[in-house]
Amino acid sequence: MSFTSLGLSPALIKALVNQKYDKPYPIQQKAIPAILKGKDVLGIAQTGSGKTASYVLPILMNLEGKTTTKSRNVNTLVVVPTRELAMQVKEVFITFGNALAYPVQSMAVFGGASINPQMKGLYGVNVLIATPGRLLELVDSKALSLAQVETLVLDEADKMLNMGFKDEMNRILALLPPKRQNLLFSATLSKEVNNINQLILHDPLVVKIEAEVESIDLINQTAYAVEEGQKGPLLRYLIKTKDLKQVLVFTSSVYKADHVADKLRKNGINAEATHSKRSQGARTERLREFKEGRLQVLVATDLLSRGIDIEFLPYVINYELPRSPKDYVHRIGRTGRAESPGEAVSFVAAEDQHHFKIIQKKMGKTVEMIEVDNIDLKGY
Ligand code: AMP
């Protein structure tokens, strides 16, 4: 199946070729024609499935003829849980929006960045991508109106609910006109997500993509049985002996992230930490450096485990295991995306062995365990 057969315009087809999107992913094959027709869609799909383009492309097509009048009324509202996802979705709107003959103004707004430029910038915006809290602040200060929203997208709805945005989401829904197109994406279909579906979706097309399993199969997973004190040397050993150029390392606390990055720098490795205690500006900059290959090692807390797309990231290291098996999958899901293979390595201390067994069971895969005592870590 080709993108042309899905009903997309020649301008978008050309942009897809430029972006090296050869053929539509399964979620795109199903969702694009339905969204073009104005249908509601429920997409149960993960980051990595191609879900973003599955709604961005048809929304852009449907905007033809609707973007000429400038006001503070947005036409399309995309609500997302995190700043990172907001920026990533905006990039996709801009990349494909630029290919069109009619102008589409897309903007991302989120907390942690100053509100004034966002208030000013909203005039004339057609597509707004927003985190819930900042969106409501902007509505409250009359910087925008949601009264004429024609299309609503809730992306990573499960995460939004897990992050405690339920009240904000309900307030946002109450501000929208009753007649609109609703597109809801969620990695899981929990009871809470289902409640929202029932509240907002009308006769939706349901698309379920088992991306979690697909992408996991693309990843070579290994684990090292280590003692806490061996983790630092083992990390440096792996980076140096495998000549790793771009590594994402996960820790479970902000303190640990800073500590690990510090130690790496002291050992001459180009590393930085990123987490919730850093300013938005610093986080954006770190991520940019890392994506562009100017930063070799990015040490992050779970903040980054979902929602950011780093293509072809070859290596993820769990310096500490995440609490939930789901987070484990999201962390290592950075690799093996867009059909390219990756490596995921976990450091497993004795007290985490049982927890790691549960992770493997939930994931349905057994991970090879290497005894670190068989490796000579002297000098690392
Ligand atoms: P998403 O699930 O939306 O985060 O997309 C995951 C990744 O797949 C992103 O890097 C996209 O650029 C890429 N992608 C999405 N659709 C396609 C496609 N049809 N062909 C190739 N790459 C794609």
Pocket test for ligand 1, best of 19, 23, 214 (most atoms within 8 A of CB): 19
Highest mean pLDDT among 19-23, 257-261, 303-307: 257-261
Distance from the alpha carbon of residue 306 to the mean position of ligand 1, in angstroms: 15
Q: Which atom of ligand 1 is nearest to the CA of 45?
A: 2
Q: Which is it for strands 368-371 and 247-250: parallel, antiparallel or unpaired? A: unpaired
Q: How far is the CA of 2 from the centre of ligand 1 (A)?
A: 15
- How far does the centroid of ligand 1 lie from the alpha carbon of residue 64, in Å? 24
Could you report the per-residue pLDDT of 265-282, keeping only the tens digit for each?
Answer: 999 999 999 987 887 778
Ordered DSSP codes for 286-343: HHHHHHTTS-SEEEE-GGGSSS---TT--EEEESS--SSHHHHHHHHTTSS-TT--EE
Q: Is 198 exposed, middle or buried (0-12, 13-18, 19+ CB in 10 A)?
A: exposed
Confidence class of residue 48 from pLDDT cuts 50, 70 and 90? Answer: confident
* Distance in Å, CA 238 to ligand 1 centroid: 29
How is residue 214 written in tokens?
Answer: 């697909």
In the reported structure, the alpha carbon of residue 272 is separated from the centroid of ligand 1 by a whole-number distance in angstroms of 27
Q: How far is the CA of 57 from the centre of ligand 1 (A)?
A: 12
Indicate the pTM of the whole model. 0.65
pLDDT > 60? residue 224: yes
Find the 92 Cα to ligand 1 centroid distance in Å: 10
Report how far residue 27's alpha carbon sits from residue 50's, in angstroms, rounded to the nearest whole number.
Answer: 7
Mean pLDDT for 13-18 is 94
Q: Which of 85-99, 219-233, 280-294 shows the lowest mean pLDDT across its residues?
A: 280-294
Distance CA(14)–CA(10), nearest Å, equals 6
Q: Which domains does the chain have, with CATH numbers?
A: 4-208 (3.40.50.300), 219-374 (3.40.50.300)
Reply yes or no on whether the pLDDT at 88 is more than 60: yes
Q: How many helices (H) and strands (E) does the chain have?
A: 15, 14
Residue 33 has pLDDT above 90, yes or no: yes
- Compare 304 and 279 and report the one with higher pLDDT: 279
Share of the chain above pLDDT 70, in %: 94
What's the average model confidence in pLDDT over 221-239? Answer: 96
pLDDT, residue 295, reads 95
pLDDT at 107: 98
Average pLDDT (290-299) is 92
- Kindly report the backbone phi and psi dihedral angles of residue 208, in degrees, each rounded to the nearest multiple of 5, phi listed first: -115, 125
Q: Which residues pair with 73 in a beta bridge?
A: 145
Residue 335 CA to ligand 1 centre (angstroms): 13
**Residue 216 pLDDT:** 73
Q: What is the pLDDT of residue 279?
A: 79
Q: Give the atom of ligand 1 at the shortest distance from the alpha carbon of 311.
A: 10
The pick from 8, 12, 17, 25 for probing ligand 1's pocket by mutation, whose C-beta has the most ligand atoms within 8 angstroms, reads 25
pLDDT of residue 307: 47
Which residue, judged by its Cα, is nearest atom 19 of ligand 1? 24
pLDDT greater at residue 326 or residue 365? 365
Average pLDDT over every residue of 290-297: 91
Mean pLDDT of all residues in 10-21: 92
Cα(134)–Cα(111) distance, integer angstroms: 5
Helices assigned H by DSSP within 176-247: 191-200, 211-217, 231-241
- Probe residue for ligand 1, chosen from 309, 330, 340 as the CB with the greatest number of ligand atoms within 8 Å: 309
- pLDDT (average), residues 142-158: 96
* pLDDT of the residue at 340: 63
Nearest ligand 1 atom to the CA of 3 is 19
Band (309; pLDDT cuts 50, 70, 90)? low
- Ligand 1, atom 10, lies closest to the CA of 311
Give the pLDDT score at 327. 81
For ligand 1, atom 21, which residue shows the shortest CA distance? 21
- Mean predicted lDDT score pLDDT of the chain: 90
* pLDDT value at residue 68: 82
CA distance 263 to 31: 47
Question: How confident is residue 210, by pLDDT bands cut at 50, 70 and 90?
Answer: low
User: What is the residue with the minimal CA distance to atom 14 of ligand 1?
Assistant: 50
Distance CA 216, CA 67 (A): 41
pLDDT value of residue 306: 55
Residue 5 has pLDDT above 70, yes or no: yes
Considering only CA atoms, which residue is closest to atom 11 of ligand 1?
A: 50
β partners of residue 42: 184, 206
Q: How far is the CA of 8 from the centre of ligand 1 (A)?
A: 17
User: Pocket around ligand 1: residues whose beta carbon is below 6 Å from it?
Assistant: 21-22, 24-25, 28, 47-53, 309, 311, 337-338
Q: What is the mean pLDDT of residues 12-39?
A: 94
Averaged pLDDT for residues 159-183:
95
- Ligand 1 centroid to Cα of residue 51, in Å, is 8
Size of the chain, expressed as the number of residues it contains = 380
